[in-house]
Amino acid sequence: MNDLPDSDGPDSDGDVRTPERLDAALASLGTGSLVARLARDEDDILAAQALRYRVFYDEMKARPDAETARLRRDVDPFDGVCEHLLVCDTDRGQGADAIIATYRLLRGENARKYGRFYSAGEYDIAPLMAISGEVLELGRSCVDADYRGRPTMQLLWAAIAQFVFHHDISLMFGCASLHGVEPEKLALPLSYLHHFHLAPPEMRPVALPELYVGMDFLPADEINKKAALTALPPLLKGYLRLGGFVGDGAVVDHQFNTTDVCIVVKTDLVTGKYYRHYGRDRAVEGDHAGGDA
């Protein structure tokens, strides 16, 4: 796998956005034995793929094809054009065994070179492509079962924020999943997302016609918001806390045993708390992230 291109333009302070500066900013976010960094080589990516396999296939019962089962790694063609965010526990060493969380990041400039975004296989994302500025697709997020607590999620969000600031990202998006392939059993959380977090028309992706599943199972006045939020996976709730929206329609992914929604977050809608804790100036100065993600 080839190294990905890095931005080398100036940021708003006139400094050059070098890979080294981003590495230093990510390193400054560590807390305790947990550290965040980007994958550096093929061994890192192989380890991330192995973690994804354990979570998606062993734990969540996704359906591997013969080659995926043989490799025991979750692999697809996008891995070679994405950047891979890692969280490592240094108490477990420095190598592949230390990787306990991962997130796959696809910047617009790399997607254009490759020819498409992953989400385009499920959604019409043309409205997102019309928004000015650089975009970032988020995907393949997973955390080792022993680390699914607040510190890991805070560090993941802090690292994504630093990546966003470094590359001057205007908009983040991606497919987020609810477990299960029977949307009617997910009526409460899907209806809640549809009625209270639907993206404005000018930035609303729509599920492809052949995959489209309506999300408005329940009328708005019958939704218990507290119960609906409780039913949402932590990752989806994290997106909503950042001011995120969802697209129109869900998509059932039988391979991964999930029902997907398309999440959209404009970075200028991100809450003041997010900037205060995870903004460029603090991270570059070496402060640790704190507070809610």
Domain boundaries, the chain: 19-285
Judge contact between 199 and 125, C-beta under 8 A: no
Q: Which of 133, 137, 119 is nearest to 249 (CA)?
A: 119
Q: Quick count: other Cβ atoms within 10 Å of Cβ 207?
A: 22
Strands 134-143, 245-246: parallel, antiparallel or unpaired by DSSP?
unpaired
Report how far residue 122's alpha carbon sits from residue 51's, in angstroms, rounded to the nearest whole number: 24
Domain 19-285, CATH 3.50.50.60 — does that match? no
> What is the gyration radius of the CA atoms in the chain, in angstroms?
18
Question: What secondary structure, in 3-state letters, does the chain show?
Answer: CCCCCCCCCECCCCCECCHHHHHHHHHCCCECCEEEEECCCHHHHHHHHHHHHHHHHHHCCCCCCHHHHHHCCCCCHHHHCCEEEEEEEHHHCCCHHHEEEEEEEEEHHHHHHHCCCHHHHCEECHHHHCCCCEEEEEEEEEECHHHCCHHHHHHHHHHHHHHHHHHCEEEEEEEEEEECCCHHHHHHHHHHHHHHCECCHHHCCEECCCCCECCCCCCHHHCCHHHHHHHCCHHHHHHHHCCCEECECEEEECCCCEEEEEEEEEHHHCCHHHHHHHCHHHHHHCCCCCCCC
pLDDT of residue 272: 46
Q: Quick count: other Cβ atoms within 10 Å of Cβ 237?
A: 15
State which residues of the chain have pLDDT below 70.
1-16, 269-293
pLDDT of residue 269: 57
Report how far residue 72's alpha carbon sits from residue 47's, in angstroms, rounded to the nearest whole number: 11
